[in-house]
A and B are shown apart, each in its own frame.
Chain A
Amino acid sequence: MTTPVLLDTNTYLRLAKRVRPFVGLEFGQVQYVLTILKVTEDEVHRNPHLQFRNPWFDQTEYAQERIAKQVRLTASEKAQVEAAQSVLLGWARMDLDRFTSYGRSPPGEADCWLLAFGQVRPAVVVTDDLGMHELVKDFPDIKVWHGYELLAKLRTAKVVDDALIHAIYEALEANGDMTRTWRDAKHTTFKRVFGSGPKA
């Protein structure tokens, strides 16, 4: 029995080109499996800027990998995910102040679909969206990791090595895609890779 690890759009775009193979990869003692939902695929296809910045997204190798590993929901599961998505969206919108502070944004429809899926089919959601992390504090059954936490687990499972972690961090810097959480993790979670960082 595997536990799906659902990748949000940004996590997929940050890691899928460098960690090969990616979608469908099983790792760890819990037997996690990297998974991408159609909602994530659709998000990229709806956004010409994302497609322009990530021309590799629709290359055969990546597209086939995603299609081969797509998850299907039964009608009942779909109805449950829709209901849960609606509650998550509604809950965040009732407390806008909390979800517009400290780098957060109110989670949108695609975000809440992933979280709802994680509630209905026990799964882990991987996202760097701080609003999503804040939201799940109220819904402890939904498990969420930051992108760097996934990378750390892949390192523990010996799927990625230190050289690849260096390359991923360099790419984040080069693409102007370095988030606060990834930066903070560089000399904490990845202390063994990058050292403990400059002394304050």
Chain B
Amino acid sequence: MHKVIHSENIKQSLQERGWKQKDLAEALGVTAQSVTNWLKGSDFPRPDKLLKLATTLQLGFDKLVKTDTVGQPVVAFRKKAGAKTTDAHIDKAMVMGALLKALVPFLPPMPALRLQLPAPSTEYEPLQAVVSQVRARLGLGEEAAVAYHDLIGEFAANGAVVAPVLWGQKQNHKNALHILLPQENVTFIFLNLDTHQEDFKFWMAHELAHVYTPDLAGKEAGEDFADAFAGALLFPMAVARKTYEHARTGTKTAEGKVLTDQAKAYGISVFSVFSEVNRYAHSESLPPLRHTQEQIHQMRQIQRGKTMSEELFAPVPTEPGAYIAATKNTFKSAFFESLQKMIKNKETGTGYIQQVMDIPMQDAIALHGELID
């Protein structure tokens, strides 16, 4: 990799200190010519001198070294309710992305032809048209419920690698993490299995939308589209219309029951049903449902189902072998298979697994042990 010193930052730092280049050369124990060559970009400091440069000027790596932003990972979070994404979260995800580049050569060949949605829109009618196409592609009728395994095949078919992770229900700030590696043309999708089934399916659909819209990756518009797409895919207009008609005929209590029954039938949260029915009503200029958003949130808290990990691995916590097998068999993911190839081929250490999956070291040691057996 061609490395170049960020000469503007260094010159500015020298100016702030009232130093000349020869003062810096003296502090670092190098010739003034060396410093000149670094700043011209014709030479790069040896690592020990780069470190000395950092401590002397108190500048970090990004301020000292010009890095190529072209191949940088693009990350997007599906946060937990109320969680705030900080710079530290973004940095950590970027590091995960950088580390995942080392895994790419061990992935199975990725398909060159992928479904991409041109000019994605969150407007009701165009969105429903897109959703109809995708449902037809999945072999689903216009009122059929989507199961999470219906979505699984779409990830691999579109160059995305699903990595189901056990991040706990509360410990981690995110429930899903999407990392696009633009140069490698691969997307990694980390999905937290310690989430309720009804939410999990929504996040899968949300992440699928990101896979279909790589040009919107990392942008606010991409998040908005993914949310709208997920809701519409899981509870499309034909179902929303029937639910609306049914819900509006009875009392408010009966309306609540219609919504919760539909949530159960479609394996999604009552909030998703409520939102989609109201979107339909809005598109038809009809009055909205009688429940408020707050009332629906209360209903949702009462009717929580099992988590995905409880469903897959009961009793939890699971053994590493079962977890790896579920990733391969249930999620049809090549993630651990590829990781295993890498570890065996390169003798990669446990710390790589810990960092790339953002898991505790002891869990990484257990997975590493299972993968090298």
- Given A50-B362, A140-B48, verify A79-B58 contact (CB < 8 Å): yes
Q: Which of A32-40, A57-65, A85-93, A184-192 contacts B (4 or more CB under 8 A)?
A: A85-93
Residues of A within 8 A of B151 (CB): none
Given the complex of chains A and B, what is the CA–CA distance between A153 and B60 in angstroms? 35
Verify if B118 is at the interface (C-beta below 8 Å from A).
Answer: no
0/1 per residue, A66-86, Cβ < 8 Å to B? 000000000010011011101
Residues of A within 8 A of B352 (CB): 100, 105-106
Verify if B130 is at the interface (C-beta below 8 Å from A).
Answer: no
Cross-chain contact A100 with B54 (CB below 8 angstroms): no
Cross-chain contact B51 with A88 (CB below 8 angstroms): yes
Residues of B within 8 A of A119 (CB): 51, 55
- Given A91-B61, A93-B95, A131-B351, verify A100-B342 contact (CB < 8 Å): yes
Residues of B within 8 A of A108 (CB): 351, 354-355
What distance in Å separates the Cβ of B90 from its nearest Cβ neighbour in chain A?
14
Interface SS of chain A: helix, strand, loop or mixed? Answer: helix
Q: Which of B97-105, B154-162, B247-255, B291-299 contacts A (4 or more CB under 8 A)?
A: B97-105
Verify if B373 is at the interface (C-beta below 8 Å from A).
Answer: no
Verify if B347 is at the interface (C-beta below 8 Å from A).
Answer: yes
Give which listed residue, B48, B58, B363, contacts A139 with CB less than 8 A: B48
Verify if A161 is at the interface (C-beta below 8 Å from B).
Answer: no
Verify if A48 is at the interface (C-beta below 8 Å from B).
Answer: yes
Given the complex of chains A and B, what is the CA–CA distance between A87 and B360 in angstroms? 24
Give which listed residue, B47, B58, B102, B346, contacts A83 with CB less than 8 A: B58
* Interface residues in A, total, Cβ within 8 A: 40
Given the complex of chains A and B, what is the CA–CA distance between A119 and B59 in angstroms? 15
Verify if A154 is at the interface (C-beta below 8 Å from B).
Answer: no
Cross-chain contact A105 with B348 (CB below 8 angstroms): yes
Cross-chain contact B362 with A103 (CB below 8 angstroms): no
0/1 per residue, A150-193, Cβ < 8 Å to B? 00000000000000000000000000000000000000000000
What distance in Å separates the Cβ of B338 from its nearest Cβ neighbour in chain A?
13
Cross-chain contact A102 with B51 (CB below 8 angstroms): no
Q: How many Cβ-Cβ contacts under 8 Å join chain A to chain B?
A: 109
Cross-chain contact B360 with A50 (CB below 8 angstroms): yes
Cross-chain contact A91 with B362 (CB below 8 angstroms): no
* Interface residues in B, total, Cβ within 8 A: 37
What distance in Å separates the Cβ of A33 from its nearest Cβ neighbour in chain B?
23
Which of chain B's residues 38-83 have a Cβ closer than 8 Å to chain A? 47-48, 50-51, 54-55, 57-62, 64-65, 67
0/1 per residue, B77-116, Cβ < 8 Å to A? 0000000000000000001001101100000000000000
Cross-chain contact B349 with A131 (CB below 8 angstroms): yes
Cross-chain contact A105 with B51 (CB below 8 angstroms): no
Residues of B within 8 A of A42 (CB): none
What distance in Å separates the Cβ of B183 from its nearest Cβ neighbour in chain A?
14
Which of chain A's residues 75-131 have a Cβ closer than 8 Å to chain B? 76, 79-80, 82-84, 86-91, 93-94, 96-97, 100-108, 111, 119-120, 129-131
Residues of B within 8 A of A111 (CB): 351
Cross-chain contact B363 with A49 (CB below 8 angstroms): yes
Cross-chain contact B102 with A100 (CB below 8 angstroms): yes
Verify if B361 is at the interface (C-beta below 8 Å from A).
Answer: yes
Verify if B242 is at the interface (C-beta below 8 Å from A).
Answer: no
Residues of A within 8 A of B348 (CB): 100-101, 103-105
Cross-chain contact B60 with A94 (CB below 8 angstroms): no
Verify if A29 is at the interface (C-beta below 8 Å from B).
Answer: no
Cross-chain contact B361 with A101 (CB below 8 angstroms): no
- Given A83-B60, A94-B1, A101-B346, verify A139-B51 contact (CB < 8 Å): yes
14 sample A-B contacts, Cβ–Cβ < 8 Å, listed by A number: A83-B57, A86-B61, A87-B64, A91-B61, A97-B346, A100-B102, A100-B342, A101-B347, A103-B348, A105-B350, A105-B353, A108-B355, A129-B349, A129-B351
Using a CB–CB distance below 8 Å, which chain B residues touch chain A? 1, 3, 47-48, 50-51, 54-55, 57-62, 64-65, 67, 95, 98-99, 101-102, 342, 346-355, 360-363
